[in-house]
Structure 1
Amino acid sequence: MLLTLLYSCTGGAAVLYALYRWIIPFIVQYHAGLALIWHDKFVEGMLDMLTRSTRPQRLLAAVQKNATRGDPRSVVRAIDQFCRHKEWAMNVGDEKGCILDSVVSEANPTYVLELGTYCGYSTVRIASLLSPNSKLITVEFNPEYAKIARQVIAWAGLQDKIHLVEGASGDLIPKMQEMFGVKTFDLVFLDHWKDRYLPDTKLMEKCGLLRKGSILLADNVICPGTPDYLEYIRNSPQYESQYFKSHLEYTKVEDGLEKSVFLG
């Protein structure tokens, strides 16, 4: 009787572990809604409770353990390894990150604005490709994310290239010229709240922060999706747009980046 109960408990535990470790992660790789619910609701909440830490704190610990201080690319690799093999996180990711790299390298921007820092992954990718006299301003609404991002940026050795400001994008965009002496941005990377893509783009237009040739690069335009932004940017005579098909970070779910050149 006791042995039967023991075998049943052991078998049940093995099934639950297999579901958690392999079966469910495999299934959600191909389903957008399930992927976001599984990673952002269930797994993150469970690990927060078990470890008494947050996902950004665990990501920072992985960087400090596995990345070489002062080496931005090793910081990127450490985060990618953490997100692929340990715990998913909402970075632009390695696949779309290569597209981001190519756009930054091609544009060779002097002034860059990033909306949505999170833990600093894309911030590090962008800043590592900038020339010595370039400036990257990154905006993060969540103070806890900003705290972690500053440490990730410092570990990468890029703190002198990056200005991280905390606050709401809608409040900060009109102050950019006054705060940083920037007339216009050569490149803007949108990766914050998806419902802010369109109003913030219109706000940048209104504030004169875009010049002829300025590039907007928007992440997650398919998943979770930014339909109002895409409708505007693709139909406005002020922009010439190109879609780069890819996948939601660290999954097989379709996602992509929209590159839009401001024509004035």
Structure 2
Amino acid sequence: MATSVPPQSESLGAHETQWKGVTRTGRSSDMENPGLNAAYREASNEIQLLNYIHEHPSIEKLRGNPQAIGAVIDEYAETLHDARWLMTLGADKSSFITSVLSKASPGPPKVLLEFGTYIGYSAIVLGAALRDINAEQHFRYITFEKTPIMAAIASSLIELAGLKDIVEVHVGSAGDSLRRLVDEGKLKRGEVDCMLLDHWKDFYIPDLQACEELGLLRIGSIVLADNVKFPGVPEYLTYVRKGVAEKSAERFRYETQTADFRLARNGPEDQVAVSTIA
């Protein structure tokens, strides 16, 4: 996931595959807690990104400026080369998704669920765009992240962007968080206008079916799924293309299209799946 070069099609961009070799000098106290040390190693690029942004010479211009923060994240991603992905959605896919949602019926989403907050890039860029599209109307961007360190990084950047009032970060498994929100009356039947699946690929179908079973979707709701071609989620594509929302009491149907992207630097092709409930 990152920035991209779009192919010759109606689709817009993709994530650029970017890497960086990172050497981290651990203190003796880190070595005494291997679990904590492993967590920091796993999030080394993302922690460095947080420092990069908060130490940025234009930090005051970044406050309350979601678009500028998104651009700085893209700028940082360009510096990465070897070791790990920086798994941001990227400017091109963000533009494509914003375009899709701005044309949604009967109007742009008022409630969006994101599965996989990561560092908050999508929540910042899409959240700001949809806030502006909705103008004075209330809008909620509810995002789920299983990894506490990533959720903390995302929360810091979301607050810096001035989006804390519309973006809710929930830490833990998405399935558990969904059921808790429903039990607490904070998510109601038919209230979800859009879902964005961009987390562990094995959970695409279970989390979609959880939303079906809980009755959160409605006719016209849009389900977006990233990376369905690279690294690929063939089982998910088979499920939505089959057409039937198997766990929904209403037996909703999916109408699915895919948008083509190419990962930058001559990377592999990717797709975003767009499924509309009919």
User: TM-score interval w.r.t. the shorter chain?
Assistant: 0.7 to 0.9
Deviations 1:189-232 (A, max 9, x none): 11011110011111111110111111001111111111100001
Partner of 1:165 in structure 2? 170
Higher helix share: 1
Q: Structure 1 vs Structure 2: percent identity of aligned residues?
A: 34
Alignment of 1:182 with 2:188, yes or no, is yes
Which of the two has higher C-alpha Rg? 1
Matches within 5 A, 1:1-264: 39=19, 43=20, 46-49=21-24, 54-64=44-54, 65=56, 66=58, 68-86=62-80, 88-107=85-104, 108-129=108-129, 130=131, 131=134, 132=136, 133-179=138-184, 180-183=186-189, 184-237=191-244, 238-248=253-263, 252-263=267-278
- Shift in alpha-carbon separation, 1:250–1:240, aligned structure 2, 3 A: farther
Q: Which runs of no fewer than 5 residues in structure 2 stay unpaired?
A: 1-15, 27-39, 245-252
Partner of 2:37 in structure 1? none
Distance 2:48 2:213 in 1: 40
TM-score (norm 1): 0.78
Distance 2:151 2:63 in 1: 19
- Shift in alpha-carbon separation, 1:63–1:100, aligned structure 2, 3 A: farther
Distance 1:204 1:252 in 2: 33
Q: Aligned pair count?
A: 223
Distance 1:211 1:188 in 2: 12
Cα displacement (A) at 1:181: 3.7
CA RMSD between the two structures: 2.3
- Shift in alpha-carbon separation, 1:62–1:192, aligned structure 2, 3 A: same
Deviations 1:153-206 (A, max 9, x none): 011110111111001112222233234243320011110111100111111111
- Shift in alpha-carbon separation, 1:48–1:111, aligned structure 2, 3 A: farther
> What code does the residue aligned with 1:49 have?
R
Distance 1:160 1:182 in 2: 20
